[in-house]
Amino acid sequence: MRRVIDLTVMSGNRPASSDGERRVISFRRGFSGARGRAGGPPPIDDLSKYERVEDGDDYRHRMLVNAAAFVFVIALIMVGLWLADTMAEMRKNQDCVLSGRHGCTPVEVTKGRW
pLDDT of residue 101: 84
Instruction: Note the pTM of the prediction, 2 decimals.
Output: 0.44
pLDDT of residue 87: 97
Task: Specify burial of residue 96 (Cβ count, 10 A radius: 0-12, 13-18, 19+).
Answer: middle
Who has greater pLDDT, 77 or 43?
77
The residue-averaged pLDDT of 85-102 equals: 90
Contact present, 26 and 32 (Cβ < 8 Å) = no
Calpha distance 93→85 (Å, rounded): 12
Quick one: what percent of the chain has pLDDT higher than 90? 29
pLDDT of residue 67: 98
pLDDT of residue 86: 95
Given a cut of 60, is residue 30 above it in pLDDT?
Answer: no
The residue-averaged pLDDT of 58-63 equals: 90
